Structures are given as structure tokens and as C-alpha cells.
Structure 1
Amino acid sequence: MKKLKRSGWVAALCTLLLVVTACGGKTDSSSSNPDAKASSSASASASASSDSGNAAPHGKVTITFWNGFGGSDRPVLEGLVKKFNSSQDQVEVKMEIMDWSVLYQKLTTASASGQGPDFIAFGPENIAKYADLGVLAPVDDFYSNNMIDTSLLPQGYDKLIHYKGHFIGMPMNYFAHALYFNKDMAKQAGLDPEKPPTTWDEMADWAVKMTNPKKGQYGMTLPDGWVYIPQLIWANGGDVIDYDTKTSMINKPEAVEAVKYWADLVLNQKVAPAPNTDNLKMFASGKLGMMFDGPWMSPQFKAAKVDYGVALMPAGPKKQVTFGAGLSMHLTSKGAKDENVKNAVYKFAQWWFQKDTQKEWAIKIGFPPIRTDLAGDPEIIQSNPDLKVFMESAQIGQPWLIGIVNSNKITSDVFQKYFDQILLKKADVQSTLDQASADLDKILATER
């Protein structure tokens, strides 16, 4: 799905929810194929579903699916569901698409009265909240029955679908950040656009050389929001949270060192505009040299006729890493009450993961497939060369705020608050991160 341009940082968190889904294709038929092996189990389960109270007029089990894919991806998703429904005679998916904010409001109230969907799609930042409310049901048997080959999932994806020792979701899509750079600005700065930066120091050098404040031109952007600064901290060997102990790590030496490195470039060498700047507009107009973001930006840059390139995130002192996440499908407690309905949801989730389905989705939507065995697929790359880098980025992706109920509160009350102080008010990094850590620990204390 296209991502709306940013006007602030909290909006960036919302953007995670506005991620595209997939379009289906023909199923694999070879019994030696892991997709085909798993499908026989799903078919057997779904066949027994015809006696369910959810049976459709033609004997299919009807399952309700809620999601918020209301943008340019909507017709693709609708086509995908239609294709699935017509591809077999056991399951009928009835989909309801609504605004994400409406969805969350309806989900809470409907679930309290035993109503609502049989399964739902949303981002990992919502899992802990709705699992604790009893809205979501574990799906351990989806994996113990080998309905998909989990070895094909991107690095770290298993963390997105786990909560409190259980599988709580099924794969839907995945994305990772990469480095976008303006080739024209690189050339004007005497840089080789065919050799983008591969390390922090190289990226800093590019940023300085492409910066000319008198022309309103900046080498890079450093928003204070949700995942931009954390991935820099990761690259320096640090983290924001110790997920085992639910304690803050944001003021540890590795984090402080990373923030100082980039804050110095922003504040003293003036390589970045103000954090609340419209980065899309600046990049498209040739005023911003580099930014890191997801595959949803490519169509917008192409539409603006920007001569741009895409590269893997440059490696930090300790490792090469980027932010990686995605939406997953979740069986609701309502859906789990009926074994036949549950099996029908599993059948759809399994079909979604099929190789041909994922390939067609990647080509039509412009998002990388969730299966890593498609990373070098020539048809996908030919349809959108940018996807080559984004598929490679999946191998260095790292999620964050996984299993945290108050993830939104952390974003607004810690990240936006304290990094505003650093990047806008030039507050001392160490003391500011000490304060941020104290507030973060207060939030995390409620989740231990």
C-alpha cells in the first residue's frame, strides 16, 4: 500500500498499520513441495467443516475476516479473497474492510459481547494488548501440524507472532527498511551514486557533502520517531529494552554513543532538517539526500520522477541491521470456539503463504514476499528492481516493542518527548537519556 506522507513522528507509528497485503495465485501441486504436503492436512480438516453452523449456502464454512486495508491495496486484497473462495469448495472468507481506528474500536466492543470476526489482521504492536484482553487465541497447532515451512520466514519474524510462550499469529506480510538516496544530489556533491554508503562513516560523509543549508538542502533526515533511532542503537550493539527483564537499556553506553554520533551530525554539522519536516516532499524536490524507509516509498518517488537508488542500511560499528516488521493474521477467541471455523482460518492462512500466491502479491503490490525462498526470483525483481534490496533487507531485519502492551505510550511519552529535547532543544544526551530511561522503566514496570 502507498504510505501517506509524514507530517510528524507519531504518524509514523500509524503507518505501520497501513501496510499492503497479498494477491493469490495457483496452489502448488507436487507432493514433494512443503506447501502441498501441508495442504492435504488442511483440506482434511476443512472438509469436516461442512457440518458447521457457519456453513455457507453451497456447503462452505463461512469465516469473517476484519482488516483495515482500505487504500490502493484494497482491490488486490478483494481479488485475492475472491480467488481463494473460488479455488476450493470448503471455505468462504467474508471480509470486512474498515478504517483501522474504527476496527480497533469495534473489535474491543464486539469481542466483549462474544461477537466480532473469526480472524483479524494487524501489526505486532497490537498483539500484547488484545491477547491480554482475551480477544486473540493461540495458534500453536497451526505450527505443530507443519501447515507452513517456518524456515522460509524472514529473520526475526517468529518474534512477531509469539506472545507469552505461544504462537499467536500467522504470517501475512513483511517489510524492512532500506536506505533511499538521491542520485542527482550525490552527483552534485562529487559522490558516485553507483557506490552508495555501506558503513556509518561513509553515510555521515555523504550527508555532510550533500548538505547546503543556504540552499535548504540536507544530506539526510533523522526523525525522532518510533524505529529510526532504535535501529541506529542496534547497529552500535545496544537496544532500547531488555525484553527478558522488561527493563530499559536506552541510557546504556552503546545507546548513548549511537545517539551522540548522529546528534552531532544533525546539530553541529546541520546535515538534517527539523524532525517534523515533510521528508517525502523534500526528497522528491531534490532537497534531501538520504532517508531510510520501507518499500511503500518507491511508488511515490517514481511518481515524482526522482532519480533515486536503494541500498541496504549501512553497517554500524557492531553490526548491520535494520527495522523489520509486518502484519500477521490472528485467530480470535470467537473463531477458536468452533474447531471447524478454526481449521477454515488455518486453510486460508496456509493458502496465503503458498509460493505462487506470494509471488503474485509481490509483483502486483510492490512489496517483498514473506517467503525468503523468493528473494532472488527474476520475475519479482523485473517487476520492481527495488524489491531486490528490500528482500535482502529481510535478512538483517529486527523487530522492536514486541510483546509490549504500552508500545504507543513508549513511542509518544519516551521517544517523541526526549528525542525532541535532544534534536530540537540540544539537550545533553546522557542526562536526557537517563530521564528517558527512568520514564521507560515506569511504563515497563506495569508489564513485568
Structure 2
Amino acid sequence: MNKWKRGSWLVTICATLLIASACGNGNSNTSNSGSNGNPSAGNTESASPTTAEETKQTDTKPEGKVTITYWNGFSGSDRPVLESLVKKFNESQDEIQVKMEIMNWDVLYQKLTTATASGQGPDFIAFGPENIAKYADLGVIAPVDDFYANNMIDTSLLPKGYDQLLHYKDHFIGFPMNYFAHALYYNKNMVKAAGLDPAKPPTTWDEMADWAVKMTDTKKGQYGMTISSSWVYLPQMIWANGGDVIDYSNKTSLINKPEAVEAIKYWADLAINKKVSPAPNSDNLKMFASGKLGMMYDGPWMSPQFKAAKVDYGIALMPAGPAKQVTFGSGLSMHLTNKGAKDENVKNAVYKFAQWWFEKDTQKEWSTKIGFPPVRTDLAGDPEILAANPDLDIFMKSADIGQPWLVGISNSSKILTEVFQKYFDQILLKKIRCAKHA
């Protein structure tokens, strides 16, 4: 690893608090920052407004059909696409009617708690992996081992690490809904102005650091890259250096281990001493679009916004760290509720919808219309998908190096806000001096 000037900034992120949070009692406050329900993901157009008012499909139930209720928070630009697909499913057969209710994520979680207490609520639901442990422990969602035992979908086609999003306490707990991974966005005009070749994006940490330094001119308010306290930045740094955040087998912290500390020191020192990054919580989207930020890594939901802002940008796979090439990869899953599991006909109907959702044609239509990669890896390179959105080529390839985190941790939101974001912000703002690693 290239040794940037260290100063006196040695890094740890309060391992004791992390351990306490990881072993918490499940009272997490779910983060809801986008239409797709994952706090890192925004939505397919994260600038799109959402409404707290519930929207419902008003399909009437044809006689003889099993009706299943489906709750989700796809209330942004992806809502009409999902509504169209559910309508297509309903019209494709005469056995099952999906009655879908779409609402803002905050409203969904409030309603879910109340409805569950009274024995009401949906038969199946979609949300992000940060909610699985909480709602499984509360008895809201049910295991679905028989769905996989009957080979209703081919799990070998799922992106790397996605299997973790479907398991909890040795049981299958959900069905695949959508997928996303992070990639490196770079501003081609800034790259050219720095004398670099936009056709040859960085492939290693040191190359990315070199690009960042060359594109930085603080007198002009111009920065080479963003180094942020965002909950998806830090784990990628640590993984790429061979470390991890948590030992998931015994719920103990690993962030004070050498691999984790060295990784955060590398990037914190780059921000503090080389000044390649704007202040924490800056408007990275606005800066990137205005030519003031050279690089940032994020998901496919950013592409439509950069196109709308007429940014000449490029996309590349996340550069490799000293130990491996890795990126943040995750997604939303659908879950059978315990209410739905009590009726065998309802349960089987949910299973058939989940199976249909995984089919190639469904995934292709979903992917091309919302701009996310499909959840099936055998669609990588599909000409119809790439014709609709060439950017998805990199995001589909990113599935091979994707890795989720904090899966199955009840207090994931507390870990994110009270540990990672809080302390890394203080490190970047030079407000704390930190102890050496253990």
C-alpha cells in the first residue's frame, strides 16, 4: 500500500459500541432514504419525490382466484413499472390475484407494526436486508425453506452474496426482488483537464488515489473524489484491505483489527493530508454534476441524474485494494408474512408470484424500465438490457465482486448512524484523535 503522510491520525471506530449495537435487542430505527427501501440505494431516480399517502391498485377480485396482498414502498419512478408488471401477472393466469398496496416506506413500517399486532397486514412484503432480523424476530415474516427445497428458482443464478439476503438463523427467509452494486463514476472533463486518460480508469487504490490528487485544486473548490462517512463507503475500504466489520458467527467487532484500521487510515489520511475530498455531508451529486468532484462511487440510480444534468461521465468497476477487488452489493427481497403462511393456498400463491418474478422476461422488463441490473446473472450482457441502458454493463459485472453487510444484525441502523457515520465524520473533521488498533 502506498504510504501517504500519516500525521497523528490513527483510526479506530469505537469497537465497544459496535459490539453492543451488534448484540442489541432488535429495536433498530430503519433508514428509509429511497423508493427501493435500502438506505444506501436511493431509488431509480433518487431526486424523485415520494408521498406519504398510500396508493393502491384497485383491481377487483375475479371469481375463483386466490387473492394475495402485497405491501411495498416502491413509490418513486419505479412505481408504475411495478404496477404494470403486477397487472401483467394478474392477467397471465386465472388462479391468483395480487392486490398491491404501495406507500412511503415510513408509512409502511408504521402500518406493519400496527397491522401485525391485530393479526392483519399483507401476505407478503418487500424491504431491505436491514429489516430482516428485526421482523423475523418479531414473528412478522416466515421461513420459506420449502420454496427452495422444491427448486422453484435456480439460486446458482443469483449475484454473489445475494444468498445472504435470503437467509436468517439457518432458514430461507425471503425471495429475490431486485439487486444493485456500486461502481466508480468519474467526470471525464475533470479527468482530461488533469492530464489523465478517461479511457483508462483506475484499477487499484493507488491509481485512484493518484487520480484524486491530480484532480484536486482546493483554491478552485475542486476535489478529486469524495471520501465519506456513508455507511457503504467504509466497509468497502475494509473489505478491500482483507478485513471485515463484524465476525458474524459470534457478533463481535473486527474494526479494531489491523486490516480495518490500515484501510481507514489510508483514506482518512488522503482526505486530511492531501485534501482530495470535500467536507463530510457535502452535496456530492451537485459537485459532480458541476465539475467540482472528479470521482465518486455509487449505484445505478445515479446515472439518470447525471444524464439529466448533461454530465460527461464514465463508469468503471471499483478499483482493487491490496487484498481484493470488492464492492458493496445488495438488494431488496420479498418476504412471506406469518399471516400469509397460515393459509396454504395463499402461501402457494405467493410462491408462484415469486417464481414468476424471477423469470427472465420479468427481470428483463423490470431492469430495462427502472435502470437497475437484473437479479439473474445469466442476463449479464443481454443486448436488450444494454440497448436500453449501456451503463448496466458495468453494474452487472459488479455483481461478480459484490458483497452485502450487516445482514442479520438487528441494530444495523444504530451501528451505521451512531458508530460509522458519527466517528468517521469526526475523524475527517479532525475533532478526535484515535487510539492504535489492538
Q: Please name the residue that 1:190 is paired with.
A: 195
1:386 maps onto 2:395 in alignment: no
Q: Please name the residue that 1:370 is paired with.
A: 375
Structure 2 distance, partners of 1:419, 1:157, is 28
| Matched-pair contact (CA < 8 Å) for 2:243–2:260 | yes
Structure 1 distance, partners of 2:332, 2:426, is 32
Q: Please name the residue that 2:140 is paired with.
A: 135
Q: Please name the residue that 2:306 is paired with.
A: 301
User: 1:270 is matched with which residue: 275, 278, 298?
Assistant: 275
1:147 maps onto 2:152 in alignment: yes
Letter in 2 for 1:392: K
TM-score normalized with structure 1 length? 0.85
User: 2:252 is matched with which residue: 244, 247, 253?
Assistant: 247
| Matched-pair contact (CA < 8 Å) for 1:173–1:326 | yes
| Matched-pair contact (CA < 8 Å) for 1:10–1:411 | no
Secondary structure at the residue paired with 1:296?
helix
Secondary structure at the residue paired with 1:357?
helix
Change (3 A) 1:262 1:278: same
Cα deviations by residue, 1:402-444 (Å, 9 ceiling, x for unpaired): 000000010111112211221112533445x77xxxxxxxxxx
Q: Please name the residue that 1:86 is paired with.
A: 91
Q: Please name the residue that 2:27 is paired with.
A: none
| Matched-pair contact (CA < 8 Å) for 1:217–1:287 | yes
Q: Please name the residue that 1:331 is paired with.
A: 336
Secondary structure at the residue paired with 2:429?
helix
Q: How does 1:14-413 map to 2 (within 5 A)?
A: 15-16=39-40, 18-19=42-43, 56-413=61-418
Residue segments in structure 1 that go unaligned for 5+ positions in a row:
1-8, 22-54, 435-448
* Cα distance, 1:58 vs structure 2: 2.1
Between 225-234 and 201-210, report the one with greater CA deviation.
225-234
* Cα distance, 1:57 vs structure 2: 3.5
Structure 1 distance, partners of 2:41, 2:242, is 28
* Cα distance, 1:340 vs structure 2: 0.3
State the number of aligned residues. Answer: 392
* Cα distance, 1:360 vs structure 2: 1.4
Letter in 2 for 1:254: E
Structure 2 distance, partners of 1:10, 1:76, is 20
| Matched-pair contact (CA < 8 Å) for 2:215–2:294 | yes
Q: Please name the residue that 1:43 is paired with.
A: none
| Matched-pair contact (CA < 8 Å) for 2:82–2:366 | no
* Cα distance, 1:257 vs structure 2: 0.3
Secondary structure at the residue paired with 1:402?
coil
Structure 2 distance, partners of 1:302, 1:355, is 28
Change (3 A) 1:281 1:365: same
| Matched-pair contact (CA < 8 Å) for 1:182–1:286 | yes
Letter in 2 for 1:152: L
What percentage of residue pairs aligned between the two structures are identical?
Answer: 79
* Cα distance, 1:11 vs structure 2: 5.3
| Matched-pair contact (CA < 8 Å) for 1:218–1:287 | yes
Change (3 A) 1:289 1:424: same
Q: Please name the residue that 1:417 is paired with.
A: 422
Change (3 A) 1:258 1:230: same
Letter in 2 for 1:65: Y
Secondary structure at the residue paired with 2:113?
helix
* Cα distance, 1:376 vs structure 2: 1.2
Structure 1 distance, partners of 2:165, 2:275, is 36
Secondary structure at the residue paired with 2:339?
helix
Letter in 1 for 2:83: E
| Matched-pair contact (CA < 8 Å) for 2:33–2:40 | no
Structure 2 distance, partners of 1:161, 1:153, is 11
Structure 1 distance, partners of 2:62, 2:402, is 44
Letter in 2 for 1:93: V
CA RMSD of aligned residues (A): 1.7
Structure 1 distance, partners of 2:44, 2:210, is 34
Residue segments in structure 2 that go unaligned for 5+ positions in a row:
1-30, 46-59
Cα deviations by residue, 1:293-332 (Å, 9 ceiling, x for unpaired): 0000000000000000000000000000000000000000
* Cα distance, 1:134 vs structure 2: 0.2
